[in-house]
Chain A
Amino acid sequence: MAALIRGLRAGRALRGLGGVAVQGTVSLQCSNVRRGFHRAALLRLASDSKSDTSVPPPSYHEVHTAGESSSSSAQGESSEDAQPNTSFQDQSGEHGEDYETEEQLQARILTAALEFVPQHGWTVEAIAAAAETLGLSSASTGMFNNGAGDLVLHFVAQCNAQLAETLAEQNNQVQLGQAEAKKTAEFLKDAVETRLRMLIPYIDTWPQAMSILLLPHNIPDSLKHLSTMVDDIWYYAGDRSTDVNWYTRRAALTGIYNTTELVMVQDSSPDFEETWAFLDNRIKDVVNMANTAKQVQATGEAVVQGLMGAAITLKNLTGMNQRR
């Protein structure tokens, strides 16, 4: 068991050495070398612990090289001790295209983990359960330094990407003339509703997720996701402002989104009707405030002009305007 953990740690360290961005055909070279390292480490592992030779190699493989067949390659190892490179050529030739980066693997595990969230909550157990369904060892949760935080952030990023796609699609349709452009208030309401509806399957455990997002080390990432989402919504709503309005609009929408999210979490009405009504009211408030601000500004300008006119009239009457 200890040998297995040592092996996993060594594998992770080697992976880190191998570098992060492994894409395209150039990476095949690196992947060959890395597999060579993996094999070498594996062989040392196998020779170390004679008693559990049969058990660790397959699971080691499964953890780190998901695209390969496990047992056959493990058995092929012992005869290829002398020349680690040559025989791996055809292996990588066969399985090169299936090799995925660590990020892709992590994304796959996290996406699968979402199904276990209602059962286990936003925890490492959900990730472990997902890893097992994908045929990996549950110890592969060691890949995620942030544990549950990684899971929640992955979900948020996924939802935001989906929202951006939907909004882009709608925008396309409007541009092609297949759909009518919505008014700003309606557009905002629909966008926020779409985004919040993605939380419905996980609404029971969402308070736990929100508290995870508020942990100090997660705050920068969660703020980044939130601001990107709000920026996306306003961009597709047609906002192209380049003055302080840029900030006030986004701040307003952030406030609306956060408060609506809170309302939704403790809403028990059928299909969250109360939440949508709350959202509607908040958006109306913001629109009203914007209109009021405009009116105040216009009135202010008119008043100033009136005062200036009065002052000039006074100056004329008292003869102060005459040149002497």
Chain B
Amino acid sequence: MQRAAKCALRLDLSRAFCLEVNVNVCMLKSLPPPRDEEEKAMLDSMLRVDHAGEYGANRIYAGQMAVLGRTRTGPLIQYMWDQEKMHLEKFNEILGEHRVRPTLLLPLWNIAGFALGMILTRIEGTMSCTVAVEESISEHYNSQIQTLMEAEPERYTELLQVMLLKNFVMMKKKNRDTGLEHDAESVPGYLLLKTVIQVDCKAAIYILQRI
């Protein structure tokens, strides 16, 4: 039963991936009203973390643009930033609709993200950092998707679509950047950096779920 739902979602997904832009349209009533306190709390914390993640990604790109805006990579960063802006819009809508509290740490996230973006442009192996970050975020999304699937796939179909889409996009990016990662592995201290980043991501997710 669950596998059938999963297959159906994957089919939807591959179609949806080609029409990433149109996901915006179907978000009007993405979640059924929560059945009880527990479900509301679970959905709340999931949506809060995801929203904070999108917000952070937005700020990171803003930081990168601030430094590299006028160079060759400027347009590429701008393009990726625009994609992230779309995701943030989506999550803003979901939050408003379902009366989910945004995280209290948003101002902190704002500054931290911007600073991180600026720093990332300076160090070598930026792409590898991005890959490390996206790996942990991907893992996080996977666990969220699993939770929703285990609960009841039909209730959360549309939310799952959004998450699977995000996951898919990140996986594609990761495959693209894997080549770069191999180069970056030659940079000394890469493993340390990667571990630090992954631990940071996990800690951030843990805190954001609660505050």
User: Which A residues fall within an 8 A CB radius of B?
Assistant: 231, 235, 240-244, 246-247
A244 CB contacts on chain B under 8 angstroms: 106-107
Q: Please give me the residue from chain B that is nearest to A240 by CB atom.
A: B96
Say whether B99 contacts A242, CB under 8 Å: no
Task: Report the bound CA distance from A247 to B91 in whole Å.
Answer: 18
B residues neighboring A (CB under 8 Å): 51, 91-92, 95-97, 99, 101-102, 104, 106-107
- List chain B residues, Cβ under 8 A from A235: 99
Which residues of A lie under 8 Å from residue B95 when comparing CB positions? 240, 242
Chain A residue, CB-CB nearest to B51: A242
Does B107 contact A246, Cβ atoms closer than 8 Å? no
A242 and B92 contacting across the interface, CB-CB below 8 Å: yes
- A247: chain B residues within 8 A (beta carbon): 104
**At the interface, is chain A mostly helix, strand, loop or mixed?**
loop
A241 to chain B, nearest CB (A): 8
Q: Are the C-beta atoms of A246 and B99 separated by less than 8 Å? A: no
Q: Can you sample 21 A-B contacts with CB below 8 Å?
A: A231-B99, A235-B99, A240-B92, A240-B95, A240-B96, A240-B97, A241-B96, A241-B102, A242-B51, A242-B91, A242-B92, A242-B95, A242-B96, A242-B102, A243-B102, A243-B106, A244-B106, A244-B107, A246-B101, A246-B102, A247-B104
A244–B55 CA distance with the chains assembled, in angstroms: 12
CB distance from B121 to the nearest CB of A (A): 21
Given contacts A243-B106, A244-B107, 17 further A-B contacts (CB under 8 A): A231-B99, A235-B99, A240-B92, A240-B95, A240-B96, A240-B97, A241-B96, A242-B51, A242-B91, A242-B92, A242-B95, A242-B96, A242-B102, A243-B102, A244-B106, A246-B101, A246-B102
Nearest-neighbour CB distance to chain A for B114, whole angstroms, equals 15
Q: Complex: how many Å from CA A247 to CA B103?
A: 9
Residues from chain B with Cβ under 8 Å of A241 in the complex: 96, 102
